[in-house]
Structure 1
């Protein structure tokens, strides 16, 4: 990319400014992941729109990582999203409006430009396809209180009996590591997904008809679409997009 075009992307793209992130922390946006070095302060040239930001803190050696925490944002052209590392909680937190304004001005005057990694624009198409139905309304309806998503505070997943080897390893990490927090003490809550019954129970129909309804869930899907989404298929697809990305 020639310098003039790159400068246009820097000016009109969004920026994620991350303050005091410890070295070796993994920071991701959409399909891209960065390993924080001593000078890392965030990501620039982000196309405006919906994005998923996620991160995983590391030990001092950089060989053990905490469960991922993530959050969705919808950015506008030239917007600067500012987060600061809280060492006690080992997570990114918002700064005051005054500080956010001050740091935003610093970004726009290129004070942090050398410490910002560029968003890989060639991968943006993949992200758009994965998130094409996610809107601000979808995010606000599903995201937990506070907006942060983490498996630690998904009790149904943490406390259930895993069947896959990777799930067993994750559950063991959550139980035995310093990153395990009880659901009662957890400030974050799970995502507000639409409940789907596993078994259909209806009165007044034959056993054969009931079996058929439980094998073919078309009527259940149509019922949920009308009841929960007012017939809007895009909203249903948006929740499925959200669920897919939340499961990474």
Structure 2
């Protein structure tokens, strides 16, 4: 065809990488998440996240993403952000005792089940597709909004302690494979130029990052489990080796709380409140 002859050659060396980064992204997922007009732009994100609390890593990332972006003056932006699923960071329910509320926030399994039923129509692949969409939009489109959504979904899944073993073993096996290939791609140097840094910058390499804390607890949960699905165990070990080999991370066991391990000054550890067994009203 005349049109085909005008196209440049496809870079087949990246084809397998792209398949692994996007195998759950479908046309319906793109239509569901993409902003009005279909263009993902970082120009509107300053206003969207002006008052959003950020960690020091996210603030550094925010500054990095602003470099080179064009500044708009005068007129206001129409909202152009993606339509991501809202992921609550803290679960609050009326009528629950303090013990029940603490348990609900320590194990995000119930929140995961609620979101799957309410927002994803029961489809695990839709959730994984959104996870991949957010990662690609962050890595390729330099979108802070996408990074925060990716972080929220990763935090949700790594925050589940029951689902990986009982109700959602297959989902977690697929999730570990997804994040394994995401970080494997993001942390590798450019294949054509060994002097170029990885796509993910140094803020990812610190043991103070949220990802290190989440992985530390999840690895302890799975690798120390008495009965674990074979595929989940295999991919968890593979993911752990990737982080250890590429980042030099170590995952020692610390003081245990309900099977999870937290350091004394771990800002990412869940807050355990000792409340009376009376109803918790919000």
Higher strand share: 1
Larger Rg: 1
Relative contact order: is structure 1 or structure 2 higher (C-alpha 8 Å, sep ≥ 6)?
Answer: 2
TM-score when normalising by structure 1: 0.49
TM-score when normalising by structure 2: 0.43
